[in-house]
Amino acid sequence: MEREISGWAYAKVNFGLRVLPGRADGFHGIESIFQTVDLYDELSLTTTAEKGCIVHCSDMELPENNTLTKAYNAFCKTVGCEVPGVRVELKKGIPSGGGLGGGSSDAAALTRMLERLCNVRLSDSELDNIAAETGSDVFFFMHCDDKGRGCALVSGRGEVVKKIHGRDDLFLVLIFPEVSSSTKEAYALVDEALACGNVLISPEFDELELVYRRPPENWTFINTFTPVISAKYKDIGRAIEALRALGCEYAEMSGSGSTVFGIFSSRQEAESAVKELTGSWNCKLARTV
């Protein structure tokens, strides 16, 4: 008998993202606050007679070995019991490759759905094992609540996650510039900047939560990626300036780009900004959750 389960996978933004020099294992250390916002993908899971995970997405073409199939295979290996085959219908609401963690959030959402399907509850270490085989940002999403919402201090290559009480009072305007910067390219550009000592000074890791609690107009967060990505893709800088011109309290790029966000003092101010920007930019209102 077929079973169906559906769920949402929320996007994240980075409040501050300090990139550390490359490590011997090829990864970079990071220091950041990850916060979910109410922009999401929709997943619908249906059990199948065939083994394995089949993913269908009408919004974009996915590689065969995507984050959902990786998470499914890692889940099967972790639980060590019979896991039904599944078909996943993915409806994208989070732009791909925009620094919002959509693919990683999808993987964590599927894991929660598989837990329900198989009536199991994985430990934190088991969730981390699945994340390790799926992607660095997946660690954060694995430690969100049962609905996929959360906020955390994130360090290491993304695997060190310390949950903190998130804010739900922040109204953001997200701008999606029509540029595509791969994570690999972004880290290569940062490596060049680090080698030249050409990086911005950011708050120390143990100060991040203190800064986060302040009004956004007093935030001193920086994103190491922003100067190098905006130097190559001018629309990134233009989007940030467009948000500042409309009176946002804080504007920055999320992740390695290319999504840019501005925080406004109220929903009304944010809605007004969206109206002003629409026509010139692809943008959307969001709130922290």
Q: Is 275 a catalytic residue?
A: no
The response to whether 272 counts as a known ligand-binding position is no
Question: Which among 12, 70, 92, 284 is annotated as catalytic?
Answer: 12
| Rounded alpha-carbon distances, angstroms, from residue 229 to 159, 189, 259 | 24, 8, 11
> Do the Cβ atoms of 19 and 229 come closer than 8 Å?
no
Question: Which among 41, 106, 137, 284 is annotated as catalytic?
Answer: 137
Q: What's the sign of the alpha-carbon dihedral 176, 229, 289, 112?
A: positive
Tokens of 206: 């143990």
The response to whether 95 counts as a known ligand-binding position is yes
The response to whether 63 counts as a known ligand-binding position is no
The response to whether 97 counts as a known ligand-binding position is yes
Q: Is 92 a catalytic residue?
A: no
The response to whether 135 counts as a known ligand-binding position is no
Rounded to 5°, angle at Cα 143 from 142 and 147: 80
The response to whether 103 counts as a known ligand-binding position is yes
The response to whether 258 counts as a known ligand-binding position is no
The response to whether 85 counts as a known ligand-binding position is no
> Do the Cβ atoms of 224 and 191 come closer than 8 Å?
no
The response to whether 254 counts as a known ligand-binding position is no
Can you give the three-state secondary structure of 80-126, one letter per residue? CCCCCEEEEEEECCCCCCCCCCHHHHHHHHHHHHHHHHHCCCCCHHH
- Report the alpha-carbon distance of residue 217 to residue 93 in Å, rounded: 29
The response to whether 256 counts as a known ligand-binding position is no
- Report the alpha-carbon distance of residue 141 to residue 23 in Å, rounded: 24
What residue numbers does the annotated binding site cover? 95-105
Active site residues: 12, 137
What residue numbers does the annotated binding site for ATP cover? 95-105
